[in-house]
Chains A and B, each alone.
Chain A
Amino acid sequence: MNARTEQRIAFSVLFACTLLVVMPVLIILAIIFVKGYSALSLDFLLGMPEDGMNAGGIFPAVLGTLYLVIGAIAFAVPLGVLSAIYLVEYSRDNAISRLIRLAIVNLAGVPSVVYGLFGLGIFVVFLGFGVSILSGSLTLGIMILPVIITASREALESVPRSFRIVSFSLGASRWQTIRHVVLPHALPGILTGTILGLGRAAGETAPILFTVAAFYLPTLPESVFDQTMALPYHLYVISTQVPGIHEEVRFGTALVLLLLVLLLNLAAIILRYQFRKKKKW
């Protein structure tokens, strides 16, 4: 076999493998869309569950996920951005900064169910927040912290050094430079990271299993110390825990969750793309 034929065969194999990786996205989307879209309606999104979750809507789960995601972001974004500022703008390459980097890498790899155990141990039991929106949000917030830190770090690092030097030469302090020169240019990158964090927090189930998620609640939560239903847990419940739920309801719930997460991620991808295209340095 000559080198040309070999190359053609090899590249076809590589291409086939790539298709195998990318196709599932389309297949999963297609299946869920086809079987779920008939369930999709305003009543489904904004209605309360009825008839043992077999009819009606999924509003408590949608609202619960919204609460949890907002809580997680409110906790993780300020902390994550400040943490990235420390790493990029203040720290030198010493033992502490290396230890921080190692910690971030490890946080990113901690299994989501272990975050759930941690949230149960520290927030629910030790701090006495109970099984509540507060405990769940904090647990999710800690889980997405590495996502926010990593994205913010990249965004800060992409701002050229010369910007800082010019600002210092005009007499600005370090914080003034960060606040007025570096952060504005890093903002799109930080925003991208935040949206990715949102998507991740919205879709995770294991961290909320023991910290907040309720199987079924007849009323909506009224304070951060209440339990709530949540979309991903609701999908788990109606597809494994309760027998005989209509296919349409299950696929409809999966579709809402999938659309929510994919749209967030698509927004992040587009934002990042636009930002890269516009960048002038």
Chain B
Amino acid sequence: MTLRKLREALIERTIFVSGITSIVIVALIFIFLLKEGLSIFLAVNPLDFLFGQFWYPISDPPSFGVLPLIIGSVFVTLGAAAISVPIGVASALYIAEVAPPRTKEILKAGIELLAAIPSVVIGFIGMVTLGPFIKAVFGLPTGLTALTGSITLAFMAMPTIVSIAEDAVTAVPRQYREAAIAMGATKWQTTWRIVAYAARPGMIAAIMLGIGRVIGETMAVMMVTGNAALIPTSFLQPVRTLTATIAAEMGESVQGGEHYAALFAIGIVLFVITFLINGVADLYLHRTTRR
């Protein structure tokens, strides 16, 4: 009997330790980003880092201003959100409220498959099909622009937006719909004015998580945006994002050097941004489930 108790206690310990690994890993990620990245602020003042307009990491002397990269990320993210939010919310409404059960299953599977396509494959397709198309339509010297990136990323954000918004719509209590229909509203009026309205917190969470995905996306964006680290003035210019900069330049930086530290510091910026977005989105998600 005591042996059994000992065994139970041992197992319980192991399980508890595994249970808290997620917390440990989040902490470790933050610690290691700081450990490798903070030294850049000995060389560059944090404000000059965030708001400096020139990213010339390998010039002599180097200049580590990430503003062009932040603006590049913002351009691509806003563009992608402008495309994916209305389309994503509309299809979430269609799948949750309009589609017959069988169609619904197929559509959901299709969206899951879209989410599963590796970003390097999406980037590759964007590069060989969308790029040349944009180049021809707008008569540009290159088809790899902020617009190309926005369209590509919009498709990568859509599965997130659709599936979470769809959950939010489905979670709206049946009685809301029945009451609206009983008052003489059409199905569309019910869907748009009652159900979509009631599902707002979940939809906001869906949009935020979609945007979080876009900001963090790396490979596809690196392959289709042209990677010019200059502050863009139009969507038809090449841009370079925070993520693409890390991925593209880490290989050529010297371990422990300023450039290396600067790339980790960009990682800190990304980590903090996504941490905030996910935290707030989670608050909104819980607001829906509590009701």
B-contacting residues of A (Cβ < 8 Å)? 3-4, 6-7, 10-11, 13-15, 17-18, 20-22, 24-25, 28, 31-32, 78-79, 82-83, 85-87, 89-91, 96, 99-100, 102-118, 120-122, 125-126, 142, 145-146, 149, 173-175, 196, 199-200, 202-206, 209-210, 232-233, 235-236, 239-240, 250, 254, 257-258, 261-262, 264-266, 269, 273
- Of chain B, the residue at the smallest CB distance from A118 is B29
A109 touches B278 (CB 8 A): yes
- A200–B111 Cα gap in the complex (Å)? 15
Contacts of B118 in A (CB 8 A): 202-205, 232, 257-258, 261
B216 touches A103 (CB 8 A): no
- A78–B188 Cα gap in the complex (Å)? 47
B14 touches A203 (CB 8 A): no
A3 CB to nearest chain B CB (Å):
5
A243 CB to nearest chain B CB (Å):
13
B90 at the interface (CB under 8 A from A): yes
B216 touches A209 (CB 8 A): no
B32 touches A15 (CB 8 A): no
Count A/B pairs, Cβ under 8 Å.
Answer: 267
B120 touches A121 (CB 8 A): no
B99 CB to nearest chain A CB (Å):
8
B216 CB to nearest chain A CB (Å):
3
Known contacts: A114-B33, A120-B250. The answer to whether A262 contacts B116 by CB under 8 A is: yes
B271 touches A110 (CB 8 A): yes
Contacts of A209 in B (CB 8 A): 247, 250-251
B18 touches A117 (CB 8 A): no
B239-267 contacts to A, CB under 8 A, are 243, 246-247, 250-251, 255, 263-264, 267
- A15–B188 Cα gap in the complex (Å)? 13
- A235–B121 Cα gap in the complex (Å)? 8
Contacts of A3 in B (CB 8 A): 186, 188-189
- A202–B217 Cα gap in the complex (Å)? 16
B22 touches A7 (CB 8 A): no
Contact residue among A11, A109, A149, A273 (Cβ-Cβ distance under 8 Å from B216)? A109
Contacts of B243 in A (CB 8 A): 111, 113, 206
B95 CB to nearest chain A CB (Å):
6
Q: Considering the complex of A and B, which 8 residue pairs feature the smallest CB-CB distances, nearest first?
A: A111-B216, A203-B118, A86-B19, A82-B18, A17-B90, A7-B188, A109-B278, A18-B91
Contacts of A78 in B (CB 8 A): 18
B15 touches A85 (CB 8 A): yes
- A118–B32 Cα gap in the complex (Å)? 6
A111 touches B218 (CB 8 A): yes
- Of chain B, the residue at the smallest CB distance from A90 is B15
B19 touches A100 (CB 8 A): yes
Contact residue among B25, B91, B274 (Cβ-Cβ distance under 8 Å from A20)? B91
- A141–B10 Cα gap in the complex (Å)? 25
1/0 per position for B48-90, CB-CB distance to A under 8 A? 0000000000000000000000000000000000000011101
- A90–B121 Cα gap in the complex (Å)? 41
Known contacts: A22-B111, A111-B217, A257-B121. The answer to whether A149 contacts B274 by CB under 8 A is: no
A198 CB to nearest chain B CB (Å):
11
- Of chain A, the residue at the smallest CB distance from B27 is A103
Known contacts: A109-B277, A111-B217, A118-B29. The answer to whether A7 contacts B15 by CB under 8 A is: no
B219 touches A114 (CB 8 A): no
A108 touches B278 (CB 8 A): yes
Category for how many chain B residues contact A: 35 or more
12 A-B pairs besides A111-B216, A203-B120, A205-B219 with CB distance below 8 A are: A24-B114, A82-B15, A96-B20, A118-B33, A121-B32, A173-B4, A174-B12, A232-B118, A233-B120, A239-B124, A250-B124, A257-B120
B181 at the interface (CB under 8 A from A): no
B107 touches A110 (CB 8 A): no
A-contacting residues of B (Cβ < 8 Å)? 4, 7-8, 11-12, 14-16, 18-23, 25-26, 28-29, 32-33, 35-36, 86-88, 90-91, 93-95, 98-99, 105, 107, 109-114, 116-125, 127-129, 155, 158-159, 162, 186-189, 191-192, 209, 212-213, 215-219, 223, 243, 246-247, 250-251, 255, 263-264, 267, 270-271, 274-275, 277-279, 282
Contacts of A210 in B (CB 8 A): 250-251
B50 CB to nearest chain A CB (Å):
18
Known contacts: A28-B117, A82-B19, A117-B264. The answer to whether A236 contacts B282 by CB under 8 A is: no
Known contacts: A102-B282, A206-B218. The answer to whether A265 contacts B11 by CB under 8 A is: no
Interface hub of B21, B93, B187 (most chain A Cβ within 10 A): B21
26 contacts between A and B (CB under 8 A): A4-B186, A10-B192, A11-B188, A17-B91, A17-B94, A18-B99, A21-B114, A82-B15, A82-B19, A83-B22, A86-B15, A91-B19, A103-B26, A111-B218, A112-B216, A117-B32, A117-B36, A117-B263, A173-B8, A175-B7, A175-B11, A199-B116, A200-B116, A233-B120, A235-B120, A236-B223
- A210–B123 Cα gap in the complex (Å)? 19
Contact residue among A22, A111, A114, A206 (Cβ-Cβ distance under 8 Å from B107)? A22
Contact residue among A200, A257, A266 (Cβ-Cβ distance under 8 Å from B113)? A266
Contacts of A250 in B (CB 8 A): 124
Contacts of B29 in A (CB 8 A): 110, 114-115, 118
B18 touches A79 (CB 8 A): yes
